[in-house]
Structure 1
């Protein structure tokens, strides 16, 4: 009996020592975000600070990228430990959808949390005369970087509205900041952006010139199909000069890790995320949409074991 008891104590001590060593050993956390004028980047910077302060011996960095598709491909080859991505892109990566930019299934991906929703935000200069999706025909529009999450969203929205790139007068594949700069210069009529509410690029454009928000009606969202896309509202007053609610499509964002990240580190990343939501909201108001009770709803890939451990402790999993 004494030997069995002692053996149990030794095993427990070994497990504790292993977990402590896993956290105490130098840990590199590279966070993959998006363009510097979007929402992913400031939230990534805030998470980087939280992890550097809260995870023993952690060194953190933030990388600006073309967002979802690039991030998920980099995670697959362990070129990052945490990434922001759109839910539909995560699902495409897991399947290995070549048309979406994934040559093979990205089977090393593991979910940390479902976070805030992205809103498809289509803005046009008032001078363009664009007020509806149909009026994008023959116009000059930017749809995000090629095969980025935003560009994949643009394809889905336009197809559901009965439009293709060929129906547009000119298609540019530019990130947030360049797109709004070209609108301000009169070289583009509109841009489609997929981001959290209050994104800096659109906010700055609205401050500098009159713009029009183009609605995406509920019936168009329904035509897209798939649970990743839901109807939503950009509330009146989100941007200067926006006096009415705007119907649009929303897509959930997911924080994603990968299999080479230890359970101990993934647990701490998840825990620190939900313990510091107010601090994240100071970095960008989109973080106010993050809810613990919704964190595991509809995830298109398996949870990381470290995140799963946190959710069991939080009572979301049994």
Structure 2
């Protein structure tokens, strides 16, 4: 059940737990928390590095960033105890993150479908019979991408592959793929840092975006991407998906409280400059982590801030 602001204010941890939190600054420095992020060139990793840098200013070495393939990989690492924190799309968290908790709902990803500018493709229905990448094997993009694909005629679904972002973009330019789905901020850092030699543009996902929002309103909503975010791209409609910062339940409450402090106080410095999708990184939305419960340390931190 989604945790509302009113419900949060009505919850408490008890005087003993709060007293323990008050003395947390006197403890010896804990080992660095391992934050599972995403691929080099993606928004997850850039967000994680920004988050680590802001934490370092308060408690040096508090967090170590781990490169991964994305949401699914992050959940697996958390379950195995090979990571303490991890970024994850909310739709995948609902399927696979049982037993984990959340620090907050941080920002919004965009499901994006890139095609070559000269392809002539204008909507998702035209992908029928073509070959598309739906994200790296360990990414979370595949959940929403498959739902977009499967919203069309079952007899006309495209052939799918799962490639890491850079490999998928190279294959798209080489005409080995017809489209590349991925999830991230807009623009994706990889395309800013390494502009493609072949002009690319976003495919409009207008119809499937409405269908996903109707079928899974707790996870998806239609969003607009302005013309010119990528060269050769006009206005496009696509799917917005919330990101959660997940945490293992055994992470210390005082460490989680520090994470919340940075998420709230440093919000403008966490999402990469120029990226869209920052509307979720606000005090009022951070607590809405359905389908997962907040970690008790996060609960205490939000409660103290909200009075």
CA contact (8 A) 2:55 2:262 kept: yes
Q: Give RMSD over aligned pairs.
A: 2.6
Q: What is the distance in 2 between the residues matched to 1:220 and 1:282?
A: 30
CA contact (8 A) 1:157 1:224 kept: no
1:280 aligns to 2:270 (yes or no): yes
Point out which structure has higher relative CO (alpha carbons under 8 A, 6+ apart): 2
Change (3 A) 1:267 1:294: same
Deviation at 1:197, TM superposition (A): 1.2
Which residue of 2 is the match for residue 311 of structure 1? 302
Deviation at 1:286, TM superposition (A): 4.5
Change (3 A) 1:87 1:282: closer
CA contact (8 A) 1:156 1:224 kept: no
Which residue of 2 is the match for residue 35 of structure 1? 39
Deviation at 1:77, TM superposition (A): 2.8
Matches within 5 A, 1:30-69: 30-55=34-59, 58-69=61-72
Deviation at 1:72, TM superposition (A): 1.2
Structure 2 counterpart SS, 1:179: helix
TM-score (norm 2): 0.85
Deviation at 1:279, TM superposition (A): 2.1
* Larger proportion of helix: 1
Deviation at 1:148, TM superposition (A): 2.6
Which residue of 2 is the match for residue 81 of structure 1? 84
1:220 aligns to 2:223 (yes or no): no
Which residue of 2 is the match for residue 247 of structure 1? 237
Q: What is the distance in 2 between the residues matched to 1:59 and 1:86?
A: 24
CA contact (8 A) 1:130 1:212 kept: no
Change (3 A) 1:113 1:222: closer
TM-score (norm 1): 0.82
Deviation at 1:299, TM superposition (A): 2.2
Change (3 A) 1:314 1:235: farther
Change (3 A) 1:43 1:89: same
Q: Which segments of 5 or more consecutive residues in structure 2 lack a partner in the other structure?
A: 1-15
Deviation at 1:193, TM superposition (A): 1.1
Matches within 5 A, 1:29-178: 29-55=33-59, 58-94=61-97, 106-107=98-99, 109-146=100-137, 148-163=139-154, 167-168=157-158, 170-178=159-167
CA contact (8 A) 1:118 1:195 kept: yes
- Larger Cα-atom Rg: 1
1:6-27 CA distances to partner (integer Å, 9 max, x unpaired)? xxxxx89x847852344x3333
Q: Which segments of 5 or more consecutive residues in structure 1 lack a partner in the other structure?
A: 1-10, 95-105
Q: What is the distance in 1 between the residues matched to 2:213 and 2:296?
A: 34
